[in-house]
Structure 1
Amino acid sequence: MALLSLNNVEVVYDKVFLAIKGVSLAIEEGDMVALLGANGAGKSTTLKTVSGLLVPERGAVTRGEVTFDGQDILSMAAAQRVEKGIVHVLEGRRIFEHLTPDDNLTAAFPLNGSRQKLQALKAQVYDYFPRLYERRRSQSGYLSGGEQQMLAIGRALMTQPRLIMLDEPSLGLAPVLVQEIFEIITRINREERVSVLLVEQNAAAALEAVRHAYLIENGHVVMSGDAETLKQNPDIQEFYLGGHDRVDYHNVKHYRRRKRWLA
Structure 2
Amino acid sequence: MLTSSNTAVPLEDTARPLLELSNVEVVYDRVFLAIKGVSLKIEQGQMIALLGGNGAGKSTTLKSISGLLAPERGLVTRGNLWFKGQDMLPLTPPSRVAAGLVHVLEGRRIFEHLTPEDNLLAAFPLRGSRQRYQELREQVFTYFPRLKERARTKSGYLSGGEQQMLAIGRALMTEPELIMLDEPSLGLSPLLVQEIFEIIRKINEEQGMSVLLVEQNATAALAVVDYAYLLENGHVVMSGEAAVLRENPDVQEFYLGGAGKVDYLNVKHYRRRKRWLA
- Shorter-normalised TM-score: what interval? over 0.9
Equivalent position of 2:132 in the other structure: 117
**Paired residues for 1:39-188 under 5 Å:** 39-188=54-203
Unmatched segments (≥5 aa) in structure 2: 1-15
Distance 2:100 2:174 in 1: 8
**Secondary structure of 1:76's match?**
coil
- Which of 227, 234, 239 matches 1:224? 239
Can you list the C-alpha shifts for 1:168-194, whole angstroms capped at 9, x where unaligned?
000000000000000000000000111
Secondary structure at the counterpart of residue 223 of structure 2: helix
Deviation of 1:258 after TM superposition, in Å, equals: 1.2
What's the CA shift string for 1:229-249, capped at 9, x where partnerless?
000000000100012435669
Question: Aligned partners of 1:138 and 1:247: how far apart in 2?
Answer: 52
Distance 1:233 1:112 in 2: 48
Structure 2 counterparts to residues 6-45 of structure 1, below 5 A: 6-45=21-60
Q: Which AA in structure 2 matches 1:162?
A: E
Equivalent in the alignment of 1:209: 224
The amino acid of 1:150's aligned partner reads: M
Name the structure 1 match of 2:9. none
Q: Match for 1:70: what amino acid?
A: G
Q: Which has the larger radius of gyration?
A: 2
User: Deviations for 1:181-216, whole angstroms, at most 9, x for unmatched residues?
Assistant: 000000000001110000000000000000000000
CA–CA distance in structure 2, aligned partners of residues 95 and 30 of structure 1: 26
Q: Deviations over 1:98-133 (max 9, x none)?
A: 000000000000011110000000000000000000
Residue 209 of structure 1 aligns to a residue in which SS?
Answer: coil
Give the alignment's Cα RMSD to 1 decimal: 1.3
In the alignment, what sits opposite 2:257? Answer: 242
In 1: Cα distance, 2:264 partner to 2:37 partner: 34
Number of equivalenced pairs: 261
Aligned residue type for 1:72? D
1:152 counterpart SS class: helix
Instruction: State the AA in 2 paired with 1:34.
Output: A
Question: What's the offset of the Cα at 1:2?
Answer: 0.4
Give the distance between the partners of 2:168 and 2:182, measured in 1 at CA. Answer: 11
Q: What is the Cα deviation at residue 86 of structure 1?
A: 0.7
Q: Provide the rounded CA distance (Å) in 1 between the counterparts of 2:197 and 2:42.
A: 19
How far apart are the structure 1 equivalents of 2:264 and 2:78? 42
Distance 1:59 1:101 in 2: 32
**Could you tell me which residue of structure 2 aligns to residue 2 of structure 1?**
17
What's the CA shift for 1:256?
3.7
**For 1:195, which of 210, 219, 224 is the aligned residue?**
210
**1:42–1:116: structure 2 CA closer, same or farther, 3 Å change rule?**
same
